[in-house]
Amino acid sequence: MRLIILITAVLISNLGLAQNYYVYVTAESEDEVALIKFDGKTATADKTIRVGYKSVEIEGPHGITVAPDGEHWYLSMAHGNPNGLIYKFKTGTDEVVATTELGLFPASMQISELTGFLFCVNFNLHGEMVPSTVSVVEPNTMQEITKIPVGTMPHGSRISPDGKFQYSVGMMSGDLVEINAMSLEVSRVLPLDEMEMDHSKMNHGEMNHDEMDRSKMNHGNMDHGAMKHSKTKPTWVQPHPTNGNIYVAGNGTDEILEISSSEWKVLRRWSTGKKPYNLDITPDGKKLIVSYKGEGATGIWDIKKGVELKKISNSRLVSHGVAISPDSKYAFISAEGKGGEPGSVDVIDLKRLEKVASVNIGKQAGGIAFWKMD
Amino acid sequence: MRNLTLLLFAVVTSITALAQNVILKPESDITVIPVNEKKQLVVKAFDNDGNELKGGDFRYFAVQLKGVAKNMIFSKGLDVDSVGMADATAVGEYDVMVIRVPEKGEDFARIMHKVRVVNQEVAEISATGHPDPIYAGTIATLNVVVKDKSGTVVENPEVAAISSNSEVLEVDNLYNVFALKPGKATVTFKTGELISKLELEVLDNPVADIKIEVDQTTARTGDVLSFYCSLTDKAGKKISDIPIQYTVQGVASEPGSGSAATILGNRFVAEKAGTYVVTASTGGISSSKAIKVVDRGIAREVNLKGHGSVSDQHTSDLWVWEGIDGKDYAVTGTWGSNGKAYFWDVTDPTSITKIDSVQVDARTVNDVKISEDGRTCVISREGASNRKNGIIIIDVSNPRDVKILAEYTDRLTGGVHNLFIYKNHVYALSNSERYEIINIENPKKPKRVGQFVLENSAKSIHDVWIVDGIAYSSNWADGVAMVDVGNGVAGGTPEKPVEIARAHIFGDANHAAFPYHSKETGKKYIIAGDEIFPLAAMESTNFEEVFIPAGYLHFIDITDPENPMEVARYEVPEAGSHNYWVEDDMLYIGYYNGGLRVVDISGDLMGDLYKQGREIASYKPYDPKGFVPNSPFVWGAQPHKGHIFFSDFNSGLWSVQVEPIVPQDTKIETR
């Protein structure tokens, strides 16, 4: 189905027809999802969808993804009792189809076209520095199949182009985790910090997280101040569509890491703007788009050269998510804003390297997913 | 054009790959496993021609059904290891995901397989609960339980019960035993081929005379009356320990109200005025007493005194206190906006005046609390732009010039929804998982000293309130936890809180809790409040649709904390309960769309307090200039020096006063 969408995109693009682009964007502090329509010139909020069911509690829609066949979209809700939920909606009508409970603060997610499973990281942003999990969901029945233990505060959840692997990064454990999307087990882990971590006060060798009984742990007596967490603070991972490399946002060290999936090592580190957060790569494989959360800007990188082509200011100070149109022409950037400010979605023309449209949505614009072109 | 060629090639390749299907087939459509037994699940792989594919790596995953939309919350009753050994621990139907990791060149395949866990063969019928001895002329209800060979209880069994001597006793299909006359009889229970017998002996009922008594024969609606009986035998000797059945009949004075009275055991309460007859009976003789019930007659007018308008955003919680200068102040939070908290001078409740504010990096300041000495305010943060959230500590020694002293975020980054201050410690909720305990003796340098986490898998804490060193946390489906944080009853301290007891709250929606000690009766209660929003709201995409909340206040008698009992409720129809306060046997409730409610909770409590006319007053704050105009949605209420202050989600801070009780023989003179 994705191929058909790509073909359609290329055909429309080659024929020079006028087209509309649609992206779904979450507003995390508004409990809303906005459907943004961009006609090549102007971006508008075509529809606002209320999500959640507690009128006086913010449930926090965070991660969003559209199924490969474009028929449904999936939304993670960060806050629950205490676990968050994942919702399944019908695209277009935006009706709720089903929900299921995942882990603490479920966040980014994607579906493997090969296995059909949805992989969602349980970000656990609640302050307790403990290993978390990736939930695997069967999207048709919306049943959680299993939770796979990974690092601390896993974020970014992206599938390799062949659908065989899911990648996430441990924001506090500082590692890149590869999950075999077929066997549903961790296949490789790559530490991303350059020996900066001081684990001298932590004996990981003796730790068996699988058999940890958290109810018997006395976190009150743990010296969290003595624990050093990842300096790199990786926040996103994006496999390249064709070159076999994986790109990671080093939010703590202001860099992009280029990692060879075959050699399983860091090839290059590029210095970036402040606090790179989310990434996406154009389907043609040429450009890497990076949101800089620390400076309210977006960087556009030439992947082959490892050079930032341009940095573009966003409409709000806290840049968040990135989605790219299948024709590689436009990047859609969500920017959270602060306090009572509305969130925004900026549209960047990737050929002209300039912001061409912007639209306000609800507060704390976050997760963003491309739906369709017509 | 080159792109297009590549893509078309890819499509052709893709279609070719799809043709190499692998089909997984279980040995049977549904695998049936008796409970408490293990069974190896077997799934095989075949190609499109039906040839079995050897090799491949099979993985099995037991699926937990969970969800909110259809209330699908099940405990796990089937464990399956990765190679398919199923361990059935509870009766039910389960799904198992079976995956085949392919050999090289084959396709990935998966299948969802159904497993049904059933009871083993029934092995035991037990019938318990009857009094011993059984006296003629009494009724007893048996508790009939069927277990299978593994000791697992069989749910909803069909068990026939037959008496061997229907002149001595009869038994109905609900297992009520009617003792008719002295003698012996056997009750035979049968399910399938399994038979069990219960020998019963009915004794002569010695009661020759019964006389029902009650301390008063007139009462108000909502008054709980306890009846008792004096029993004597033929010789006139007083006897006891004979089961007595109390019944009530009568008609309410108000047409169409029916009987509207209840008797539980020997305790009577009426919801409507009328004349009711309570009858005590045993052994075929009875005694009755008539009770005249009058309207409680406590309704009073509410007068609006003042309004501090907040019309540009939602308002959340409030706290009213006497400042160190002797004047009265209030603080209110804001919701889903720009992180502000407002400070008000409410010394003159008719002139509520905004005197200062703080703005913090947050979208919601959900909770606001003031220390006992009136010097320190702590507010909660949700939606901080740096996602660290936590709490903000503010010096309110001069409420006209408040100063932020410290920000504290450690282990509170997911957001703080509620908090409480007690004896220089802040108890702050961390994402429904736990409450963190932070020492603020030096408010500029808050220091974490402990935490409390529920010892179960759900760990969902929503609120905490502390009185006399006991923290009452509200925990949704886990009810109310009573935790010693300094009372001493269990040796608890802020550094090492100790749970004393837990009260389950019917409905699994416990949102708030407030302890109440009735000095009049000596009884202790937890008033536990629901917060319920309809699941329809989750499934709606109509942004303009207004969803009416639900829920009520549950009165849990914890006089014996080991055996908490839910004894009463206060439920306003078509409205939803939220935050509340108790002072001097009066309950002040923020009842969301039901407005402010003031309720008389004096005396013994039983049944539905709303229907009993225990509501003293109500007030709905309509504000045409509100953030949402004319939409009362009262968040919480607090009495203070004879006035009631309450915050409204859509319109800010209000003060009202309930008119004083006018003695009935007082002549009111008018000019």
The interface predicted TM-score (ipTM) is 0.88
Residue A216 CB neighbours (<10 A): 7
Q: Which candidate from A105, A142, A338 shows the least CB-CB separation from B361?
A: A338
pLDDT at B257: 81
Q: Which candidate from A7, A95, A100 shows the least CB-CB separation from B67?
A: A100
Query: Are the C-beta atoms of B557 and B523 separated by less than 8 Å?
Result: yes
**Is B174's pLDDT higher than 80?**
yes
Query: Are the C-beta atoms of B177 and B218 separated by less than 8 Å?
Result: no
pLDDT band at B241 (very low <50, low <70, confident <90, very high): confident
Nearest to B434 by CA among B463, B407, B468: B463
Q: Bridge partners of A212?
A: none
Q: Which chain A residues are Cβ-neighbours of B430 within 8 angstroms?
A: 126-127
Chain A contact for B479 (CB, 8 A cutoff): no
**Is B69's pLDDT higher than 60?**
no
Structure tokens at A39: 């006609």
Chain A contact for B533 (CB, 8 A cutoff): yes
pLDDT at B64: 63
What phi and psi, each to the nearest 5 degrees, are found at residue B535?
A: -65, -20
Q: How far is A362 from chain B (nearest CA, A)?
A: 10
**Is B486's pLDDT higher than 90?**
yes
Chain A contact for B9 (CB, 8 A cutoff): no
For chain B, what percent of residues have pLDDT higher than 90?
83
**Is B50's pLDDT higher than 60?**
yes
CATH architecture of B302-658: 7 Propeller (2.130)
Do you know the residue count of chain A? 374
Q: How far is B316 from chain A (nearest CA, A)?
A: 9
Query: How far apart, in whole angstroms, are the C-alpha atoms of residue B313 and residue A78?
Result: 24
What phi and psi, each to the nearest 5 degrees, are found at residue B586?
A: -120, 140
What phi and psi, each to the nearest 5 degrees, are found at residue B164?
A: -80, -20
Q: Which candidate from A30, A82, A87 shows the least CB-CB separation from B459?
A: A82
pLDDT at B664: 60
Q: pLDDT tens for residues B522-560?
A: 999 999 999 988 755 555 555 455 568 899 999 999 999
Query: Are the C-beta atoms of B461 and A223 separated by less than 8 Å?
Result: no
Query: Are the C-beta atoms of A26 and A49 separated by less than 8 Å?
Result: no
In sequence order, which residues have a C-beta less than 8 Å from that of residue B134 and are 6 or more positions away? B140, B169, B177, B179, B200, B201, B202, B203
Name which CATH class applies to B209-294: mainly beta
Are residues A340 and B313, on separate chains, in Cβ contact within 8 Å? yes
Structure tokens at B373: 């000495």
Domain boundaries, chain B: 23-118, 122-203, 209-294, 302-658
Q: Which chain B residues are Cβ-neighbours of A141 within 8 angstroms?
A: 95, 112
pLDDT values of chain A reduced to their tens digit, one per residue, 374 residues = 555 555 555 555 555 567 999 999 999 999 999 999 999 999 999 999 999 888 788 999 999 999 999 999 999 999 988 899 999 999 999 999 999 999 999 999 999 999 999 999 999 988 788 999 999 999 999 999 999 999 999 999 999 999 999 999 999 999 999 999 999 999 999 999 985 444 444 444 444 444 444 444 444 344 443 344 899 999 999 999 999 999 999 999 999 999 999 999 999 999 999 999 999 999 999 999 999 999 999 999 999 999 999 999 999 999 999 999 999 999 999 999 999 999 999 999 999 999 999 999 999 999 999 999 99
Determine the residue type at B557: D
Nearest to B306 by CA among B660, B643, B665, B612: B643
Q: Same CATH topology for B122-203 and B302-658?
A: no
pLDDT at A229: 81
Q: pLDDT tens for residues B185-236?
A: 999 999 999 999 999 999 999 999 999 999 999 999 999 999 999 999 999 9
Q: Which chain A residues are Cβ-neighbours of B414 within 8 angstroms?
A: 79, 104-105, 125-127
Tell me the pTM.
0.89
Q: pLDDT tens for residues B333-388?
A: 999 999 999 999 999 999 999 999 999 999 999 999 999 999 999 999 999 999 99
pLDDT band at B17 (very low <50, low <70, confident <90, very high): very low
CATH tag, B122-203: 2.60.40.1080
Q: Which candidate from B11, B67, B542 shows the least CB-CB separation from A3?
A: B11
**Is B671's pLDDT higher than 60?**
no
Q: What average pLDDT is seen over chain B?
A: 91
Query: How far apart, in whole angstroms, are the C-alpha atoms of residue B266 and residue B274?
Result: 19
pLDDT at A53: 81
Q: Residue A104, by phi and psi: left (phi above 0), alpha (psi -120 to 50) or beta?
A: beta
Q: Which candidate from B65, B97, B537 shows the least CB-CB separation from A53?
A: B537
**B23-118 carries CATH number 2.60.40.1080:** yes
Average pLDDT over residues B423-447: 95
Exposed/middle/buried for residue A301 (C-beta within 10 Å: 0-12, 13-18, 19+): buried
Q: pLDDT tens for residues B287-346?
A: 999 999 999 999 999 999 999 999 999 999 999 999 999 999 999 999 999 999 999 999
Are residues B541 and A49, on separate chains, in Cβ contact within 8 Å? yes
pLDDT at B72: 37
**Is B4's pLDDT higher than 80?**
no
Query: Are the C-beta atoms of A259 and A250 separated by less than 8 Å?
Result: no
Chain B, window 432-451: residues with a beta carbon less than 8 angstroms from a chain A beta carbon = 432-433, 448-451
